[in-house]
Amino acid sequence: MALQIKNGIVVDPKNGISGEKMDIFIKDGKIVEEVKKNCRVIDATGKLVVAGGIDLHAHIAGCKINTGRAMRPEEMRFVRRKSNGLRAAVGRTLLTSPAIGYEYAKMGYTTAVDPATPSLYVIHTHEELDSIPIIDKATLPLFGNWHQVMRYSADKDIEKLKSFVAWVLERTKGYGVKLVNPGGVEAWMYGGNVHTLDDAVPGFGVTPREIITSLIAAVEELNLPHSAHIHCNNLGMPGNYETTMETIKLAKGFENRDRQVLHVTHVQFNAYTGSSWRDIGSGAEEIAKLVNRIESVTIDMGQPIFGHATTMTADCPWQFELHKLAKAKWCNRDIELETGGGIVPYVYRAKNAVNSVQWATGLELGLLVDADKIAISTDYPNGGPFNSYPYIATLLMSKKFRDEEMKKAHPYIEKATSLPSIDAERTIEDIVKMTRVTPARVLGMKNKGHLGTGADGDVAVYDINPMDYNSSNFQAILKALKNPLYTIKSGEIVVKDGDVVSEVWGRTYWVDVRDKTTTELIERDLEEYFNYYTVNRENYGVEERWLQNPLRVMAG
């Protein structure tokens, strides 16, 4: 049956609609111009109607989050749902797979991308993605410390690198190219790290700068829907904003009319001034100026949330450093030849000066970077739970709310950050961009993030009138964003009055670019490569038929 969302106040920035009273029609899972009969009607009079939310960076599946669950059995004491005919949903910050799908839907989100899968364990990743209900999803395999990538980058052999990227994406059913501390994780295997873009990676005669620019070139020549997606070097360290700015500038050598050529992720963790933990401060203002000036770069926030988190990243050197700083247990997952991941439980404390600077830095980025160039994220679960997005959006929309929350933070932020002096407030249209339009464009998902004809029938209805709200009444804004009246996935009502009422199965996106290159270029290299692997080549990767609901994307 088709669906009509009647008399809603639509905010759809991509199509130039900014608070217009209109009807939205959905048929066969897509937005259509009109349906004249056999149509179920939702009365959205005076309510905000927007496209389903998109999280472009959240660690929701794979070996890291499962290792985190095993390390933190106390997480499983938090039961979120075990009735209503749906599956049990458990977890505080490290949610079980059903809980992940339900919690996204409960705040109006319908798509999420896992940004870092080790290719050797990609079967595990897809099994978990397939067990997450409701939302569409995708995964980005890791490339920044892979031996083949470093060899081709050192040789400046972009043709072989393109062939390798295409081969990996098909074998992993991946959506794009992710780099984490490029070169640094390989150096970690020798007990070290890289600290500048021009440090040599042990054994390869290549630098992070060369790895990054080579992968950008390969991605652009393959015309992948999503750009290179980078977790910069020196994450978490005082003074790292300089490395981040230098990395951002690498995008200047490339052009793409349709999207950015480099997406820099969870920038808050890479936006610190200072020479030590004693004088750490925020470099968000300088980074924001640079990002706003360079058309070919986008970022996401990586906003920390005061409270419990579990840090997990394919950046072993930083995770070991955090383990020592926090005096917390940790686990190191070295994945042969591809990457190495670390997991450390962590608590962000409002009265801790460094944690308060981190909290303020993320919000500065969210307020100072153009809404067309930044997406809301927590780098789940590194900065905190993704279901804090309504809280983050409300902080950005209400100066009064920020002032109230700042009272809880350490007063050092008044000296080390500019947040107390920022009076700006994001509009509802800005928030729709940062949670819908911008993530869809960054990911190259053209049928998402808007309500135009042909778009996915993913819609959220909130109990707030975008033409008549008061930013000082932040309680009403937060309540509305946390509890959508309806979340609609592909035309099916999955959430009503803030509660999950049905379960559908989203799609898993992956990109096939084998027609743009040939594996013959790297056949001999692959044969040699698998001499050192614990699996045979024929057993490596996943087949499309193994995925529950795959969607193959052919690059343009």
Going by pLDDT thresholds of 50, 70 and 90, the confidence category of residue 545 is very high
Token pair listed for 357: 């600077």
Q: Return all residues near 473 (Cβ < 8 A) that are at least 6 apart.
A: none
Q: For 421-471, how does the pLDDT look when each residue is reduced to its tens digit (9 = 90+)?
A: 999 999 999 999 999 999 999 999 999 999 999 999 999 999 999 999 999
Q: For 82-106, how does the pLDDT look when each residue is reduced to its tens digit (9 = 90+)?
A: 667 788 889 999 999 999 999 999 9
Are the C-beta atoms of residues 362 and 268 closer than 8 Å to each other? yes
For the cut 80, the answer to whether the pLDDT of residue 386 exceeds it is yes
CA distance 423 to 401: 12
Average of per-residue pLDDT across 117-124: 94
CA distance 183 to 189: 10
Residue 250's closest CA among 198, 286, 202?
A: 198
For the cut 80, the answer to whether the pLDDT of residue 348 exceeds it is yes
- pLDDT score of 84: 72
For the cut 80, the answer to whether the pLDDT of residue 14 exceeds it is yes
Average pLDDT of the chain? 95
**CATH fit for domain 2-51+451-500, picks 3.60.110.10, 1.10.3660.10, 2.30.40.10, 3.40.50.2000:** 2.30.40.10
- pLDDT score of 76: 83
Paired residues of 553 in beta bridges: 511
Residue 327's closest CA among 354, 346, 300?
A: 346
Are the C-beta atoms of residues 284 and 366 closer than 8 Å to each other? no
Q: Domain locations in the chain?
A: 2-51+451-500, 53-443
Predicted TM-score (pTM) of this structure:
0.97
**CATH superfamily, with its number, for domain 53-443:** Metal-dependent hydrolases (3.20.20.140)
Going by pLDDT thresholds of 50, 70 and 90, the confidence category of residue 1 is confident
For the cut 90, the answer to whether the pLDDT of residue 173 exceeds it is yes
CA distance 297 to 285: 16
Percentage of the chain beyond pLDDT 70 is 99
CA distance 552 to 556: 13
Helix/strand/coil percentages in the chain, nearest 5: 40, 25, 40
